[in-house]
């Protein structure tokens, strides 16, 4: 079977679907694991499950466990589970770098109590904070060798003033942790050699 027919969407989601079909002995699914219809259905169910768990945690605790940057992280964990960017280390460290850089940028530009940009508007200070946060996040992820593209969204969420309290950043990181645990469980159930921590070969 050619690579294109086995992975019609690119990535390695077909391997996850095939592994789960084998694990749960779903014969018809094993025969169609690489069809676009089946892959789309898996992505739909897994996306609902990933964010549904976070939303339920938010509902039960009253804490904002759902963040826009979790969506792209979930996609990486199941679309390219063996890529370095999807490893637990990179996901957790990348978001931590993004949250820290965003908070530092708010502090540098005196915006910790300014309110979110969506409500109060964009000022020169806000532009500076956003630029600094993204620059710091990109640079630190490269220097620390923990690239995780969704962290770029995390740093902007913070530097644009949507999350400004330390406890909110703690909840954000807890949400990332829960998502990584889900990724680990599902990928390992599927027989994917998903790393415990560091990317393979690092």
Question: Where exactly are the structural domains of the chain?
Answer: 3-189
Distances (CA, A) of 127 to 5, 68, 124, 153: 45, 20, 5, 15
Task: Summarize pLDDT for 16-71 with one digit per residue, the tens.
Answer: 999 999 999 998 888 888 899 999 999 999 999 988 888 888 888 888 788 899 99
* Displacement of CA 70 from its chain's centroid (Å): 4
What's the whole-model pTM score?
0.92
Per-residue tokens: 63 = 């804490």
State the average pLDDT over residues 105-125: 95
Give one DSSP letter per residue of the chain, joined into a string: --HHHH-TTSTTHHHHHHHHHHHTT-HHHHHTTTSHHHHHHHHHHHHHHHHHHHHHHHHHHSS----TTHHHHHHHHHHSTTSGGGSHHHHHHHHHHHHHHHHHHHHHTT-TTS--HHHH---HHHHHHHHHHHHHHHHHHHHHT---TTHHHHHHHHHTTS--SHHHHHHHHHHHHHHHHHHHHHHHHTT----SSSPTT-
Average pLDDT over the chain reads 93
Tell me how far apart the 2 most distant CA atoms of the chain are, in Å. Answer: 59
The mean pLDDT of 72-89, rounded to a whole number, is: 95
C-beta neighbour count of 180 within 10 angstroms: 22
pLDDT bucket at 202, cuts 50 / 70 / 90? low
In terms of Cα–Cα distance, which of 37, 32, 36 is closest to 11?
36
Phi, psi of 128 (to 5 degrees): -60, -45
Question: pLDDT > 70: what percent of the chain?
Answer: 100
Does residue 1 register a pLDDT over 80? no
CB 180 within 8 A of CB 77: yes
Alpha carbons 11 and 8: distance in angstroms, whole number: 9
pLDDT value at residue 191: 95
**Within its chain, how far is the Cα of 25 from the centroid?**
29
**Average confidence (pLDDT) over 149-164:** 96
Q: What is the pLDDT of residue 28?
A: 87
């Amino acid at each position: 079977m050619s690579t294109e027919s086995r992975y019609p969407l690119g990535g390695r989601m077909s391997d996850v679907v095939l592994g789960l079909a084998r694990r749960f002995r779903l014969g018809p699914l094993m025969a169609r694991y690489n069809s676009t219809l089946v892959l789309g259905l898996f992505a739909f169910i897994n996306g609902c499950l990933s964010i549904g768990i976070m939303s339920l945690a938010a509902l039960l605790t009253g804490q904002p466990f759902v963040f826009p940057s979790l969506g792209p992280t979930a996609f990486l964990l199941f679309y390219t589970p063996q890529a370095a960017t999807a490893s637990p280390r990179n996901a957790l460290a990348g978001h931590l770098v993004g949250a820290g850089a965003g908070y530092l940028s708010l502090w540098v530009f005196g915006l910790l109590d300014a309110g979110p940009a969506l409500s109060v508007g964009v000022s020169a200070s806000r532009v500076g904070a956003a630029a600094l946060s993204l620059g710091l996040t990109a640079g630190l992820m490269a220097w620390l060798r923990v690239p995780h593209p969704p962290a770029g969204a995390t740093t902007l969420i913070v530097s644009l003033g949507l999350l400004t309290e330390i406890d909110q950043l703690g909840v954000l990181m807890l949400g990332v942790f829960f998502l990584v645990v889900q990724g680990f469980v599902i990928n390992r159930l599927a027989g994917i050699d998903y790393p415990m921590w560091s990317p393979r070969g690092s």
